[in-house]
Structure 1
């Protein structure tokens, strides 16, 4: 589950790198922004008439409203959850487009390092704006006891899968399939692959590069916002630095898969996510991220170009 979230969010980061030619360090805070926008919507719809609207829109800041008390869950409040997923994606798209217009577009012709440093500034601004508005407390978001579970029994024990696991799997797999079809079968997808391979040649041949750039932010932002929402739905807690904590793992996934490769980001996300989760069987959980990076280094030593080397966007 963790690997699917990392892979979905990694698609947006990989697209930004391959088409816009810079590593967007504010990507993690796009995840958090989308998550808060989506969960504010879910709280509002689930708690309307049961709690103060301001507290609901602030996602229960300061413990004013608890997601568990509202009975939030994909089976108990499905409309609120679906609306939250949609709003998370749309809000992140609007945020990405606005920041591109105000911040990145004026300096797009500068070097990659200029864009990278600028994105770090954007990341800090977003993170502490979220903390200022919503507070720094980590709050529970779902009613865990109300989530139905399915037990799959094996020789050595049972694996329990709940409705939120299934939701995360369905949403991430569906969106990944959608990206694949877009890249391989649509005119826009072919234009994005062409611009990734050679921007100057794409411009000369008449490809509308500005339209491709906007599409990159729209697709990447939408996927990133949805990834943030379903990640919180899955783990059941929300904090202002959730995206920042995921960011290094997302970068590791993109590098492991092969920088600029969409499919590489997905595969790398699965490898990194599974490694971080399974490693706690042998080492303390505080070192799980370190284990993921060790696996990344080992694989890159054997395959320096990443798992999907030689490909740009697909």
Structure 2
């Protein structure tokens, strides 16, 4: 049985066991919550993995790009834009911000021949700059996006927040559209070719500079979307939520296969489901730990991740 089919069978088995042990309603409620969490984790991990796959850069600032997207939304809302339009403009602005970091930080470092450890430390430094800049301008207090966080949708015994339901639907739709875009559009094919073999992509006539720019813009855009989905699902946030989510984003990236866009989306869903299902067994504060236990178990069995290429051994 292939790894994806084995994973699907495993998730169905876990759900069945939880349904028998705790009841179908609690298990289904936790599953819905897990899909909502998996949507923003998958999109955030996708932005992380495209940069990792294309540029071989571990972007520790990705979590703070999620935060930037949310605070851009607040800014544009304060300037008078309706909330949906403010969200869209915020995603575009965050994409531009990510592109600016490429022009001002990453491109000069690549030209200077920076080592992996120098790039790694620079990413941590950039994350701190973004985080504390947001705190300096917007403060560190808890905020909301100003939408109605009290209303809910009731489906029989199941109860789902209206904003959480909207975030779930938006996130899953975005994941499908991104997957189709990567598979069928020219820019998506070029990005995947670049990630697989940069030298071959250059020989084939692909404009690698353009691909790098598109990669950074897409990374920022997806980060903002993930951050907004998180903010609408949870209801409240502060400038530190990005660093809290960052480890889960890395877990989803590694679980799906480093540099694999489809794997990041699936990895995000798996981490989201596993963390929410764990609340049936443990206190909610243990959710991140449960996600990493699952990550370790799967990587022990499949070191390349779910959709990653098999590792070559010398």
Paired position in structure 1 for 2:106:
104
**2:128 is aligned with 1:124:** yes
Q: Compared with structure 1, are the counterparts of its residues 214 and 151 closer, same or farther at alpha carbon in structure 2 (3 Å cutoff)? A: same
Shift of 1:200: 1.2
Q: 1:150 aligns with which of 148, 153, 168?
A: 153
Q: Would the aligned equivalents of 2:41 and 2:268 in 1 still touch at CA under 8 Å? A: yes
Structure 1 unmatched runs, 5+ = 46-78
Q: Compared with structure 1, are the counterparts of its residues 110 and 181 closer, same or farther at alpha carbon in structure 2 (3 Å cutoff)? A: same
Paired position in structure 1 for 2:94:
92
SS in 2 for 1:206: coil
Shift of 1:146: 5.2
In structure 1, C-alpha distance between the alignment counterparts of 2:173 and 2:302, rounded to whole Å? 29
In structure 2, C-alpha distance between the alignment counterparts of 1:143 and 1:18, rounded to whole Å? 36
Paired position in structure 2 for 1:239:
238
Trace 1:123-272 onto structure 2 (pairs within 5 A). 123-142=127-146, 144=148, 147=151, 149-153=152-156, 158-272=157-271
Q: Would the aligned equivalents of 2:149 and 2:162 in 1 still touch at CA under 8 Å? A: no
Paired position in structure 1 for 2:27:
none
Q: Would the aligned equivalents of 1:22 and 1:113 in 2 still touch at CA under 8 Å? A: no
Shift of 1:111: 2.9
Q: Compared with structure 1, are the counterparts of its residues 184 and 253 closer, same or farther at alpha carbon in structure 2 (3 Å cutoff)? A: same
In structure 2, C-alpha distance between the alignment counterparts of 1:172 and 1:112, rounded to whole Å? 33
**CA offsets per residue over residues 34-63 of structure 1, 9 Å max, x none?**
110012223443xxxxxxxxxxxxxxxxxx
Paired position in structure 2 for 1:76:
none
- TM-score, length-scaled by structure 1: 0.82
SS in 2 for 1:259: coil
Q: Would the aligned equivalents of 2:144 and 2:231 in 1 still touch at CA under 8 Å? A: no
Paired position in structure 1 for 2:41:
6
Structure 2 unmatched runs, 5+ = 1-35
Q: Compared with structure 1, are the counterparts of its residues 195 and 140 closer, same or farther at alpha carbon in structure 2 (3 Å cutoff)? A: closer
In structure 2, C-alpha distance between the alignment counterparts of 1:115 and 1:37, rounded to whole Å? 27
**CA offsets per residue over residues 196-219 of structure 1, 9 Å max, x none?**
111112112211000000110111
- TM-score, length-scaled by structure 2: 0.82
Q: Would the aligned equivalents of 2:39 and 2:171 in 1 still touch at CA under 8 Å? A: yes
Q: Would the aligned equivalents of 1:107 and 1:115 in 2 still touch at CA under 8 Å? A: yes
Paired position in structure 2 for 1:69:
none
In structure 2, C-alpha distance between the alignment counterparts of 1:115 and 1:143, rounded to whole Å? 39
In structure 1, C-alpha distance between the alignment counterparts of 2:276 and 2:173, rounded to whole Å? 23
Q: How many residues align?
A: 273
Q: Would the aligned equivalents of 2:39 and 2:175 in 1 still touch at CA under 8 Å? A: no
Q: Would the aligned equivalents of 1:141 and 1:238 in 2 still touch at CA under 8 Å? A: no
Shift of 1:101: 0.3
